[in-house]
Amino acid sequence: MVLASPKSSSQMAAFPKALSAIAVSVGGLAVFLIIASMLLLSHPIGLRVQGYFNGVDSSTKADLEVPFANQTTADHSHDNNIELFDKEATYKSSLEVPVTAHAPPRVSEYKEAENKPKPVPPVSSVVPEKRVVGKDNVNDKVDEDVTSTPVNESENSTSSATTESPSFPGRAHNTSSVGSSCDLYHGSWFYDPLGPLYTNNTCPVLTQMQNCQGNGRPDMEYENWRWKPSQCELPRFDPKKFLELMRGKTLAFIGDSVARNQMESLLCLLWQAEAPKNRGNRRMQRWFFRSTSTMIVRMWSSWLVQPTSEPIDFAPEGVTKLHLDSPDKDIMEFLPGFDVVVLSSGHWFAKQSVYVLNNEIVGGQLWWPDKSRPMKINNIEAFGISVETILTAIVLHPNYTGLTIMRSYSPDHYEGGAWNTGGSCTGKVRPLAVGELVENGFTNIMHEKQVTGFNHAVGKTTNNSKMRLMDITEAFGYRHDGHPGPYRSPDPNKITKRGADGRPPPQDCLHWCMPGPVDTWNELVLEIIRREFEGK
């Protein structure tokens, strides 16, 4: 029998040891990778990465499911029709890619690199009364009432220099938050040096035409003005507070592109606390926040009443007919699944349409071929009827018990003409001061018709739903600085100044920059929800 040599025996003995060492190393590396992956996915960055890779949630019903990019295209096909300032403009939502893929750095990043302070407005700019600066925080409590404990003066010691300074009014601060009896809609704008909760580079769902800084707008002061009710203080938006109040609930923005503007503002504010998961489909945008099972929805409805294109009497096929006495069928179908509804409408009544009541043509806008027939109603009256129709249908719906918020007419600020006749808001960089507001007759009558329709509907309530009017029209009449103006696209060759003949550049004086004044709408929405759900 041949025995193995000592040399071969030592090699055989060493081989198992090498295998053991390798196994231990591989096992340790695997454990490390697992732990690192868990930590990454639990971090907000990980959540954002998850959102981008997961796309549309697989739990959505198959018959409504579409790819993420297709959902965006389908939904925004409506928006391309509402840009009243430029019919031929095309816009692409950034919902499917991070904002850094299409947005240049904010102007603020260059300014901060140069260590230049933000401009400070003079004390006479907007706020008529003396203000006292106090400490602010993103996580300020929203649920305090007018009897809350006064703020500790020591907390304001770090801002004493600002308080003493006569150069700007600073942040107004009360010893209270908002009580249920406080009128939210009469007050003034004040300069808040803390600025917005997000930037155009920290919100992946910001539509390009509202990305004013990314589109090259050189000034930033418009981002820092906040609304102060006369009798109390409207707290800064608290995303965690909002999600907790809306736990297990769905909020739906329903209406036109201004509704989209507000919905994206809310998503940008909430994104700072949690990256939502897209569950959109062909019929609506849907964003799901896992931590509280909260859903934010957007449904397109240009007029909130039922449109048709079929011929009626002397109105041929192809011209939009608005059945002013019939609510939008899609709204009625999905309404029972919503807990909070925010409605937006009005601006589409400037577009071509035919008005129908009881299957009879009673008026039209930019269309009335038979001059021998009398036109019974115009677009302003049609708007008032539409508001009463949709709100009445909501308060009579047998299966809806939610909270409906009708946001009042959003003022535009075209000066020297309309959106299609050379109107302009170029060069507006701060709010109008008290006494500078020029009354807009069209805005005023549209607001009046809307409020009348709202009041008529409230008197017809039969279900357990609640309706609230979020009356922003007067306050936002002062914010001519908050629109994109000529900064509605990233085109480096776009015209931003008046020509030699004085003609203004193409611009948007209807929608709102983000971040910007539109974020105040969602501060008000949060306060309305808090009052209803907390009972204060």
- Catalytic positions are 257, 508, 511
Residue type, 69: A
Q: Which residues, including other chains, have CB under 8 Å from residue 175's CB and lie 6 or more apart? A: 148, 149, 150, 151
Beta-ladder partners of 508: 485
- The secondary structure of the chain in percent helix, strand, coil, rounded to multiples of 5, reads 35, 15, 50
Pairing relation of β-strands 466-470 and 403-407?
A: parallel
Identify the sign of the CA torsion 266, 268, 269, 271.
positive
Alpha-helical (H) ranges within 459-517 are 473-476
| CB 203, CB 216: distance < 8 Å | no
DSSP 8-state secondary structure symbol assigned to residue 380: H
Q: For residues 177 and 150, what is the distance between their CA atoms, to the nearest angstrom?
A: 10
Length of the chain: 536
Tokens read off for 16: 């198992």
| CB 386, CB 394: distance < 8 Å | no
Nearest CA to 183 among 455, 475, 437? Answer: 475
Q: Which residues, including other chains, have CB under 8 Å from residue 476's CB and lie 6 or more apart? A: 410, 411, 482, 517
Nearest CA to 517 among 106, 210, 251, 133? Answer: 210
Residue 522: C-alpha distances to residues 237, 261, 269 (Å): 7, 11, 9
Nearest CA to 121 among 48, 183, 190, 21? Answer: 190
| CB 461, CB 404: distance < 8 Å | no
| CB 379, CB 349: distance < 8 Å | yes
Nearest CA to 247 among 274, 222, 223? Answer: 274
Q: For residues 363 and 374, what is the distance between their CA atoms, to the nearest angstrom?
A: 8
Q: For residues 250 and 337, what is the distance between their CA atoms, to the nearest angstrom?
A: 7
